[in-house]
Amino acid sequence: MLSAKDFFKENLADHQNVTSLYNAFKDYLNQQTDLKVSEVPLATLNGAKGYFQPSTNENRHWWR
């Protein structure tokens, strides 16, 4: 049985795998749940790094 440590070591050591996993998770959330994940350039947000809006259930994170 694959342990969590082994999974991370084997699958998440490569940036490309992390990006693919992130995109698949983001797509799943957008398509299969009422959560919506989106990204916008940091430059348009006056230095903000993310927020959660309870009234709309929006949770946004920006990556550099």
Is there a single domain that holds both residue 20 and residue 40? no
Number of domains in the chain: 2
- Same domain, yes or no, for 26 and 52? no
Domain of 10 in residue numbering reads as 1-33
Does 63 lie in the same domain as 49?
Answer: yes
Q: What is the pTM of this model?
A: 0.55
Shared-domain flag, residues 28 and 42: no
In the block, tokens 């693919």 appear at 20
Residues 4 and 27 in one domain: yes
Pairwise CA distance, residues 22 & 28, whole Å: 10
Per-residue pLDDT of the chain (64 residues), as tens digits, is: 889 889 888 888 888 888 898 899 999 999 999 988 888 776 776 666 666 667 777 666 655 4
pLDDT in tens, 26-38: 999 999 999 888 8
